[in-house]
Amino acid sequence: MTFRTLDDADLQGRRALVRVDFNVPMADGRVTDDTRLRAALPTIEKLRAGGAKVVLLAHFDRPKGKRVPEMSLKPVVEPLSKLLGAPVAFADDCIGDDAQTAINGLQSGDVALLENVRYHAGEEKNDAEFAAQLAAGGDIYVNDAFSAAHRAHASTEGVARLLPAYAGEQMRKELEALDAALGNPKRPVLGIVGGAKVSTKLDLLNNLVGKLDYLAIGGGMANTFRFAQGYEIGGSLCEKEMAETAREILQKADEAGCKVILPSDVVVATALEPGVATRVVDLTGEDKLSPDEKIFDVGPDTLAQVTAAMAECRTLIWNGPFGVFEVQPFDKATVEAAQEAASLAKTGKLVAVAGGGDTVAALNAARATGDFTFVSTAGGAFLEWMEGKELPGVAALSKGN
């Protein structure tokens, strides 16, 4: 998909309605992590430098169409102003007189933040009248919130149909990274998919096996695949009712020429506790799991297969850990795989793109995030993109619209 960016826009004196992701962690009315504020800075600064009047739209939490005081965006004003080194005006509503007064008071290069768009039921309903009221505050629309792009809401999709629409700098960065990972990747491509259940990632697996050269499956879902193949998995987490589906995915992968890497050896224990006694079991050997043993990580031979595939591949896309990385020593495979990927990416041998909440946490734990080519914090939007679904907020930015 080709999409419009701010390089295509005339900014001088224009009101830029910018959808950002300011759904930030807060405690006692204060922002506790400003990562998402910082992510919006390149777009805001580019607009300011171009002479635009910057009007920020965002949601916070789930007020469900009602004004909930503790879900106000007002606490964002002070930290955002400090990051910008410039004052940020605040409007007590995102539409109507309050919003218009704040917008009318802006000069070129000024910034205003409007109140939580989800205070209005029309936001999540993508109501045409509400979208028109939002659009009245801008001359152009900029979407810089990939994390909300999978939702067809008024501030992510509706407004984009009413104003000239552009991708912000963070959105552009995200879309270019995702295109490099799956759209037009350097081959061979390795995918790593972990997670507890096959049932939650069916669309993802079915889409990936047709696009990857290698697919490494970890987490609890790997147990379902191994069970489907007749291997003994003891008391491990397993969706036995998904066995036939797992076999169908493996068949589809084989037909597409995608080599699937499943655990050949696993780390087992009788309890999920730090420092618990563990042992490595070769699933293909004669040693078997006892009924009270559970699989909590992949073993060294499996890890070696994954890192060998990494060394052969030019692109990696990663969603989900190999084991229960939150509890040592079951973080070993995830951490070592992450560190190897980061090393290859740092030297330019691998385009390494990752996303999803657990994945980001795992990469942070491995101190590997900074060396990955790109790490998406978008969660649901990243997953739906990997599933091959069209994201309404992205489609609205297409040059074809």
- Residues with a catalytic annotation lie at 36, 197, 357, 380
Cα separation, 96 vs 100, in Å, equals 6
The full DSSP string for 245-311 is HHHHHHHHHHHHTPEEE--SEEEEESS--TT---EEEETTSS----TT-EEEEE-HHHHHHHHHHHH
Cα angle value 67/68/71 (rounded, 5°) = 115
Residue 101: other Cβ atoms inside 10 A? 14
State both tokens at 238: 């397993």
State both tokens at 106: 């802006």
State both tokens at 285: 């050997």
Span between the terminal Cα atoms of the chain, in Å: 11
The full DSSP string for 146-163 is GGGTTS--IIIIIGGGTS
What dihedral angle (degrees, nearest 10) is formed by the CA atoms of 252, 253, 257, 261?
Answer: -160
Q: Which residues make beta-bridge pairs with 53?
A: 15
Q: Which residues make beta-bridge pairs with 279?
A: 268
Specify the DSSP element, H or E, that contains 253: helix 243-256
Contact between 376 and 174 (Cβ < 8 Å): yes
State both tokens at 72: 């106000």
Contact between 101 and 93 (Cβ < 8 Å): no
